[in-house]
Structure 1
Amino acid sequence: MSEYERSRTMPALPEHVFDQAGTVGQLDSWMPRGLHVRAEELPAVTVHEDRTGEDEPGLFRAERDQMRLEWGTRDTGDYAGWLQVSGIGSGASEVTVHLSFFDERHDPGADAVADELDRSLERLDELVRLRIDDGGAG
């Protein structure tokens, strides 16, 4: 089993960050490029991976009262992850993403995962900032 974790501070209240991160229709805008999530009857989702052209049954849960997202493979249990948003005062938040690969064949390696996590958090930060700059509209 391999586990990876990254965090980033964002200039927004935790509720705002959580709302941007946890909207199923917006997951493609901050998740790793080439992954597309389609909601079914939640928590069931389908994840399409451009690289392989395959669809994978997955699970996605958003627990707003805990400011936590959880996801993973539905049938195989090969992979799971979570995102936690925490308020750190002064209207800022810390966002932590954690990934677990239970099947080493699905682990792309430490460098690749670290790069994707950093890019995903950067895209989420941009999404949050755009929403703030837009006055929360949209």
Structure 2
Amino acid sequence: MPEIGAVPPRCVLVLDPAAPRWLIANAAAVLGASAGAAGAAALGPELTDASGARWPAIAEIVVPVLAASPAELAALRAAAPDAGVTALAFPDLAQASPTYADFAAAVARTATADIGVHAVALLGSGNAVRRLTRHLPALTDPVPVP
């Protein structure tokens, strides 16, 4: 993992746009929590609106959300270390495991090539993350099914 100092690393979330909505939402939530725990984001201050209602703090960073196929996601994960970028992955084994212990056991018995990747969060310098992701489109709404 890159050194995380006073300046938070850039964080980009890359998801499989063909995945079911519930899986996209779950992957985004898990990777967002993981990126925050890894130091990618500091919380801003609590806010008060014009009516006096309080708003708890949220992360101060902007997180672009991009789209990539499962093969592209696996390639991003594999290329990240050489680019000096940390790739936090949400693999199919995590989604299928009821506990972290079950997930760990599944990873231990599965070859890298056999682990499908639903999403990745990329953490690193802005330039390094951009070099890996500049060719990817933004995640948009799926085409409606008639």
Does the pair score TM above 0.5? Answer: no
Q: Who wins on radius of gyration, i.e. which is larger?
A: 2
Give the alignment's TM-score, normalised by structure 1: 0.30
Indicate the structure with greater helix content: 2
Higher relative contact order (Cα pairs below 8 Å, separated by 6+ residues): 2
Indicate the structure with greater strand content: 1
Give the alignment's TM-score, normalised by structure 2: 0.29
